[in-house]
Chains A and B, each alone.
Chain A
């Protein structure tokens, strides 16, 4: 299995509070991604990174920010959590070639009350 960990694995937070999810890899892959999974929508891309300090938006980026100061870590921040951000969040990594597999982390279940 690819070395990807996510922390925390579960979190319950209140509306309006900031939340940071961490993705850590030991594979030295260039690309890192954050997705959210919701029923009826599959996985949708929030943000991705193609190198240290290089990030770009995905299709559902509103309300989220990211940072990547080291190759191995990719942080997802909800500045002020809302109930619509209750979801399962997946981190993924890839070497970056189009046919390369994206390896996924175990996911973080976030509940915003």
Chain B
């Protein structure tokens, strides 16, 4: 079974600075998909970014980008020019292509943004 590990329970960043959230995963599959979700205090789950494992190029979405290291099974999220609205819980998630497209989530990282 796949597992996802987020080793940083909590992170802080100064407004306008850059922060990187870590995620590692364990799998024996060669084809899979990775996601970062954001959960603000409203509890709503919001997709931030997604990555296909067979693509070498790292995904980017505006101020959000990932560093995908397939051999190391690492999928970190970089947030540039941090804003107060980025404060939230961030979840890394793994999706296998074989098992009903289910998501396996990490435990989450709380991101605090200081003004």
Instruction: Tell me which residues from 1 to 53 in chain B have a Cβ below 8 Å from any Cβ of chain A.
Output: 1, 4, 6, 32-33, 43-45, 47, 50, 52
Number of A-B contacts (CB under 8 A): 54
Q: How far is the CB of B54 from the nearest CB of chain A, in Å?
A: 11
The number of chain B residues touching the other chain, given as a range, is 20 to 34
In contact, B107 and A40 (Cβ under 8 angstroms): yes
In contact, B103 and A96 (Cβ under 8 angstroms): no
**Contact residue among A43, A88, A99 (Cβ-Cβ distance under 8 Å from B91):** A43
Q: How far is the CB of B91 from the nearest CB of chain A, in Å?
A: 6
Bound CA span A107–B50, Å: 22
In contact, B50 and A101 (Cβ under 8 angstroms): yes
Minimal Cβ-Cβ distance residue in B for A50? B100
**Contact residue among A33, A42, A59, A92 (Cβ-Cβ distance under 8 Å from B108):** A42
In contact, A99 and B100 (Cβ under 8 angstroms): no
The number of chain A residues touching the other chain, given as a range, is 20 to 34
Bound CA span A12–B32, Å: 39
Bound CA span A58–B2, Å: 13
User: Residue-by-residue, is A98-113 near B (CB-CB < 8 Å gives 1, otherwise 0)?
Assistant: 1111101011000000
Q: Is A48 an interface residue (CB 8 A)?
A: yes
Taking CB atoms, residues of chain B closer than 8 Å to A59 are 1, 104
Q: Across chains A and B, which 5 residue pairs bring their CB atoms closest together, nearest first?
A: A42-B105, A104-B45, A43-B105, A42-B107, A98-B97
16 A-B pairs with CB atoms under 8 Å apart are A41-B107, A42-B105, A43-B45, A43-B103, A45-B102, A45-B103, A48-B102, A50-B100, A59-B1, A92-B45, A94-B101, A99-B50, A101-B47, A101-B50, A104-B44, A106-B44
**Could you list which residues of chain A lie within 8 angstroms of chain B, going by C-beta atoms?**
31, 33, 35, 40-45, 48, 50, 56, 58-59, 88, 90, 92, 94, 96-102, 104, 106-107
**Could you list which residues of chain B lie within 8 angstroms of chain A, going by C-beta atoms?**
1, 4, 6, 32-33, 43-45, 47, 50, 52, 91, 95, 97, 100-108
